Amino acid sequence: MYQLLLKLGQWIDARAGVSATLWPMMRHPVPRSIDGPMGWWYVFGSASMTLLLIQILTGIGLSMVYVPSADKAYESLLYLDYEHPWGWFLRALHYYAGSGMVVMLLIHMTQVFLHGAYKYPRELTWVVGVLLLACTMGMFFTGQILRWDTDAYWGLAVGGSMAGRVPVLGPFIVHTLLGGEIIGASSLSRFFALHVFIIPGALLAFLGLHLWLVLRCGISAPPVPGEVVDPATYEKTYHEELKRGVPFFGDALLKDIFFSALAVTIVVIIAAVVGPKGPNEPPDPTLLGANPRPEWPFLWLFGLLSLSPPAIETFIMLVFPVLVLGALFLVPFVSNRGERAPSRRPVAVLLVIVIYTTLGVLTYEGVQAPWSPVMNAWSGDPVPIDLLDGRSPLELQGAAVFQFKNCRNCHALDGIGGRRGPDLTTIGASLTRDQLITQISNGTPGGGNMPAYGKQMSPAEMDATVAFLVSLRPNGQVPAGSVEDSPIEGTTPQPESLTE
C-alpha cells in the first residue's frame, strides 16, 4: 500500500511539479542570525496562518449545520451547542482561533514595526499586512452578526447607523449591506456571504501576495544598532548576508512549528474550558438584555465613543477608523530608511507604548461603560403621571403599549429613560401621525439606531401607540402637520406643567 501511494505521489509530482516548486521555497536562505534566539521574534506570522487554517477547517464544519436564514439561524446554533456531537467545541474552536489570530497579527505587526522590518524594500509587504489585518477585523464583525441573537440584531442596527451617516452614499451603503431598508432575512444572507465567501477570499488572496512578497524580498535580519537601511546599498549588503545564511527548512521552521503547536494547544484548552460564545436571547429587538457591545477587538472604539461628546460621534464612527488605517498604510512611506534597532528609535518604542496603553484603557472603558439605552427603563421608570392626566382611553392604551414594548429603553419621557433615541416628551409637535407610523414600522437604519417594529406590533397596538405619541406636545400646540388651531380628534394636549 505504501509503495502504491508513493508511486501515485511520484506520478502526480512528475506532472504537477509540486516538489520542484515548493522545495526551493522551503530551502530559501534566511539570515544566519535568525537561527539563534532572535529567531523567536519571527514565529508570530506562522502562528497566525496556523490559526487561520483552523478557522477555515472549523468554518467548513460549521457551515454544514448552520442555516443562514432569519428563521433558522438561531435554532441551528442552539442545535450545534446542545445537540450536535462536539458542535459546541467546533464553535468554540472557531471563535477562539479567530481571537488568537488577531492577537498573533497584532504582535507580528508590532514586532515588524519595532524591528523596522517594514523599511526598504519591504514597504509593500507591510501594506498587504495591513490589508490582512483589516480583513481579519471584518471577519470578526461579520461573525458576530451570524450569531443572529439580540446582540447581533442590535449590533447590526448600530453598524447600519454608522454606515448610514456616510455623506451622500449612506443610504446606498445601508441598503446594500442590509438588503433593504430594514434588518431582515436579506441582511443575514448578505453577512453570511461576506463572512464565508467574500472576506475570506480577499484574505487568502492577500495572504498569498504577502507570502510571495516575503519570498521575493526576503526575511529581514534582526536589527543591529548602527546598521542602517540605505536603499542604494541594501540589496548588495543583504545578498552578501544571505550567502552566509541558513535554509528556512531547519531551525527557523522548527521554531515556527513549535510555537504554532503551542498556540493551537492554548486555543484548544480555552475552547474546551470556556465553551462557545453565545447565542444569547433570540433576535427580538423588544427583549430585555440586549447588549450590542462589539467584539473585543472593537471595544476600544466603543470605549472612545462612550467618553466623547455626541457632537463628534459621527467623526469617531466614520472618519477616525479611516485615519487609523491610513496612518498604518503610510508607516513605511514616512520612514523607509535609517536605523532599525529599537534602542536607536526611542520615538517608535514610545509610540508603541502609548498606543497599547491607550488601547488597553479604552478597551477597559468599553467593557465598563454602560450602553446609552437604559435596558430596564420600561420596568424601573413608569411613564410620568403628568403625561397620563386627561388622556383618552386610546392614548392610555398607547402609553401602556409604549411602556411594555420597551420603547423607554431607548427613549426618555420627561428626561427619564434611555438616551440612545431622542426624548419624546414633545414628539407630537414635530412628527405627524403618518411619520410616526413610518418611523415605528420601518425604523431608521439609514440615519439612526432604531430597529423596525412593524412586525412587533398589531395594528391596534400601533394605532394606540401613535395616538399617545401625537398627544405628547406642549399645551395649546396643535399636532405636527395640522393646519387647525385646535387639537385633532382623539388626542389630548399634555399638561401645561410639562411645557413650562
Q: How is residue 367 written as a grid cell?
A: 467593557
What is the rounded distance in angstroms from the CA atom of residue 320 to the CA atom of residue 212?
32
pLDDT band at 423 (very low <50, low <70, confident <90, very high): confident
Q: Scanning the structure block, which residue is given the C-alpha cell 399634555?
A: 494
Give the domain 376-471 fold.
Cytochrome Bc1 Complex; Chain D, domain 2 (1.10.760)
Is the domain spanning 25-231+244-368 CATH 1.20.810.10? The answer is yes
Parse the chain into domains and list their residue ranges.
Answer: 25-231+244-368, 376-471
More confident residue, 349 or 285: 349
Residue 416, Ramachandran bin (φ over 0: left; ψ between -120 and 50: alpha; else beta): beta
Q: What is the pLDDT of residue 203?
A: 96
pLDDT tens-digit series, residues 20-62: 888 887 788 899 988 888 899 999 999 999 999 999 999 999 9
Instruction: Calculate the average pLDDT of the chain.
Output: 85
Q: What is the pLDDT of residue 498?
A: 47
Average pLDDT over residues 300-308: 83
Contact 132, 203 (CB under 8 A): yes
10 Cα distance to chain centroid: 46
What is the rounded distance in angstroms from the CA atom of residue 148 to the CA atom of residue 30?
47
Q: What is the pLDDT of residue 380?
A: 60
The region of weakest confidence among 100-109, 327-336, 389-398, 490-499 is: 490-499
What is the rounded distance in angstroms from the CA atom of residue 168 to the CA atom of residue 155?
23
pLDDT tens-digit series, residues 218-262: 999 999 999 999 999 999 999 998 988 898 888 999 999 999 999
pLDDT at 104 over 80: yes
What percentage of residues in the chain have a pLDDT greater than 90? 45
Contact 7, 224 (CB under 8 A): no
Q: What is the pLDDT of residue 222?
A: 92
Question: Which whole-number Å values give the CA distances from 13 to 67, 123, 296, in the listed order?
Answer: 39, 35, 45
pLDDT at 405 over 80: no
pLDDT at 302 over 70: yes
pLDDT band at 211 (very low <50, low <70, confident <90, very high): very high
Average pLDDT over residues 303-310: 78
H or E element that contains 30 = strand 29-30
Mark 34-66 as b/e (b = at least 16 C-beta within 10 Å).
bbeeebebbbbbbbbebbbebbeebbebbeeeb
Q: What is the pLDDT of residue 286?
A: 57
Residue 285: asked if its preceding bond is cis (omega within 30°), the reply is no
More confident residue, 1 or 51: 51
Q: What is the pLDDT of residue 485?
A: 47
pLDDT tens-digit series, residues 344-355: 999 999 999 999
pLDDT tens-digit series, residues 442-490: 776 544 557 667 766 888 888 999 999 999 988 878 888 765 544 444 5
Taking the whole predicted model, whether its pTM rises above 0.85 is answered as no
More confident residue, 123 or 382: 123
Q: What is the pLDDT of residue 166?
A: 76
pLDDT tens-digit series, residues 105-141: 999 999 999 999 999 999 999 999 999 999 999 999 8
pLDDT at 99 over 80: yes
DSSP 116-170: TTTSTT-HHHHHHHHHHHHHHHHHHHHHHHHT-SHHHHHHHHHHHHHHHTSTTTH
Same fold, 25-231+244-368 and 376-471: no
Residues shown for the chain: 500
Average pLDDT over residues 365-394: 72
DSSP 383-414: PPGGGTTT--HHHHHHHHHHHHTTGGGT--BT
Q: What is the pLDDT of residue 499?
A: 43
